Each structure stands twice: as C-alpha cells, then as structure tokens.
Amino acid sequence: MYALEIQGVTKTFGTLVANDNISFTLDQGEVLAILGENGAGKTTLMRGIYGMDPPGRGEIYIRGQAAHVATPKDAIRLGIGMVHQHFMLMNQFTVAENLVLGMQKFTGKLLNRRAINRAISEFFQRYQFDVPADARVKDLPVGLQRRVEIMKALFRGAEILVLDEPTAVLTPQETQSLFAIIRQLQKEGKSVLFISHKLDEVKEISQRVMVLRLGRVSGIVDTKDADAGAMARMMIGRDLAVLEKKGTDPAQPRRKVLEVKDLTVRDDKKEAVKGLSFCVYSNEILGVAGVDGNGQKELAEAITGLRKAQGAAALLWTAKRSVTPV
C-alpha cells in the first residue's frame, strides 16, 4: 500500500496546462525528489496535493483510499503537511503560537500559554530541536525558521511531508541539520516529497527522483542509478551545451562601471548594510553571497535608488557621468 498515489492529475490556468496527466506513487518511509526547471509545474502539483489549488482532473489516494483534498484543512486532516518555498510563519508570534495557530485543541476563549509552551517543548525533545517555545520567530535565524515550519507540519500530525525547495536559503551546515530530521522521519515511517534544484542534495537524501518538464513527467528513476547528465536531459530535453572558458584579453583594459564607497543602509530597525565598499568592472559578474536577510535586498535597493542610503552614497559610473542615488 502506497503512502500517496497520484493518478492522472491535470491542472490548467486558462489555456496554460501547468500539470498534464501526472501520475506517480510515494512509498511509506520514502523520500521522493522532484526536479524540474522553473515553470515545470512542481509547485503547482504540490499545491494541488495540499489542497491550496486543487487539480481540475485526476485522483489522489492516501494509504490506498481515495481522498478529496479541496482545502489545506482537508490535507492536514488526511496527514499531509507542506513547507512552502517562502516562509509562512507569523514573525511577531512566538514559536509555540505559530505551531498552535488555528488549532482549536489549543486555542479557545483563553490561551493557556504555559500549557502550550510545555506541550511544544515536549514535542521538540522528540526531534532534538533545541529552540525555546516562547522565542519570537523574528529573532531566529532563517535556518531555524525553516525547521520551525517543519515542526509545525509534524505537530499537526503530518505523515506525508511536502518540502518545496526547503534548502534554498540554508547554509550547508543548516542543510545537514535538515537532512538529519528527514532521516529521522523516514525511520518513523513518514514519507517526504522533496523539491530541489540541487542535484547533489537529491543524490544524498532521496531514494527516487521524478523529473517534470513542461508540466509532464519526463522520467522517474532510482536515485542510485541517476547521474547529472541524465537528469539534465530529462529536465531540458537535450544535452547541456559545454561552455568554453574564455580568458580576459589583456589588450582590453577593464573599465569601472560601478563603485560603491562606504555605503550604509538601514532597514526598518537597524543598519542592514554597514560601510560597504566595492567595484564592478566591465565584462564582469560580481556575485553577492550570503544567507537570506543579511543585507542583499537593501544593498540592491540602495544602488537602484529604491532605498535611501545613509552616509556616503553609491556612485554609478558610466562612460560619461556618475550618478548618486538618493
């Protein structure tokens, strides 16, 4: 008996076919990875399984029984939980308040916060999750916030967990902590649908891989038999072109196109960018790395003039003039 069976699921938006006759199975205790380019239909399929955007046609079976999943409430009742690509927590609430939000068992006319915190703390001990139940979500790093979302789904009784690109904002160390939780869930017999663009993560954590392309299933293979080239071909329908590495022509002098000097930018409460300086030159791609929430957004907004810079301004150099954003 499969934990989850999908038969002929089709979802359209007007003339756009987002999911086209998709069928697959998920075994109990299995991690099934789902790969595909942006727009391949991965998230649409997951939202349909979770009841957020039910498919127009097709059948969903939970542990061998036909299931009607019209809303997330139906999905939760059937033991399906979903962790979305973008955070869905209430930042001003505590961890415990986020977990019990909407659960009538814990919320009524009066909130017994002490009893709620005790119940949440006891549940966290089961997964060695060392976060105070009364901590504010906004004070937690993004890695812990992602794990809180998983705990929220599990606390509501999820036996089938949908993870939509859960590692997108995580560091490698945070990703390994997440994988430890997934492996524990497998030992408990829970099943996971794991969406990712990272082939190395898929190889590490999954047992099978399903690839979507243009809304259709282009292949389902055992992870141990999957290689990067085959996965890429299933994702894009052709072999990846080999890019030639081109060196810099020393005869062409580099031209400074952007210079940032001592840039400081505030978000709503604090300095998100502090005294930052750098240059970008012609024919160059400068990468900005860092965990989400460490000033990348504020930096981009200041350079493009969408956010006011504090102190010295960023100077945009062109062939003829410089511009100071305000």
Residue 312 belongs to domain spanning: 256-323
Pick 319 or 47 by higher pLDDT: 47
Looking at residue 243, what is its pLDDT? Answer: 53
When computed from its CA atoms, the radius of gyration of the chain, rounded to whole angstroms, is 23
Tell me the pairing of strands 4-13 and 80-83: unpaired
Looking at residue 55, what is its pLDDT? Answer: 93
Same domain, 271 and 202: no
Same domain, 189 and 63: yes
Pick 261 or 49 by higher pLDDT: 49
Looking at residue 254, what is its pLDDT? Answer: 78
Q: How far apart are CA 132 and CA 140, in angstroms?
A: 10
Domain CATH number, residue 150? 3.40.50.300
Please report, rounded to a whole number, the percentage of residues in the chain having pLDDT higher than 70. 89
Residues in CB range of 180: below 8 A, 6 or more apart = none
Instruction: Please check whether residue 71 lies inside any domain of the structure.
Output: yes
190 pLDDT band, cuts 50/70/90, is very high
* Model pLDDT for residues 113-151, shown as the tens digit of each residue: 888 888 888 888 888 888 888 899 988 888 889 889 999
The tokens describing 64, both together, are: 């061998």
Instruction: Please check whether residue 100 lies inside any domain of the structure.
Output: no
Same domain, 270 and 232: no
Same domain, 201 and 285: no
Same domain, 280 and 167: no
- Segment 108-116 shows an average pLDDT of 75
Looking at residue 158, what is its pLDDT? Answer: 92
Please report, rounded to a whole number, the percentage of residues in the chain having pLDDT higher than 90. 40
Same domain, 221 and 295: no
Same domain, 195 and 312: no
108 pLDDT band, cuts 50/70/90, is low
Q: Does residue 17 have a pLDDT over 90?
A: yes
Q: Where are the alpha helices (DSSP H) in the chain?
A: 42-49, 72-77, 95-100, 113-126, 142-155, 172-187, 199-205, 228-236, 296-303
* Model pLDDT for residues 260-299, shown as the tens digit of each residue: 888 888 887 788 888 888 989 888 889 988 776 788 888 8
Same domain, 169 and 269: no
250 pLDDT band, cuts 50/70/90, is low
Same domain, 217 and 274: no
Question: In the block, which residue shows the tokens 């697959």?
Answer: 24
Instruction: Please check whether residue 130 lies inside any domain of the structure.
Output: no
Same domain, 24 and 164: yes
Instruction: Please check whether residue 248 lies inside any domain of the structure.
Output: no
* Model pLDDT for residues 315-325, shown as the tens digit of each residue: 555 444 444 54
Q: How far apart are CA 40 and CA 57, in angstroms?
A: 18
228 pLDDT band, cuts 50/70/90, is confident
Pick 174 or 62 by higher pLDDT: 62
Same domain, 166 and 301: no
Instruction: Please check whether residue 295 lies inside any domain of the structure.
Output: yes
Instruction: Please check whether residue 117 lies inside any domain of the structure.
Output: no
Domain count, the chain: 2
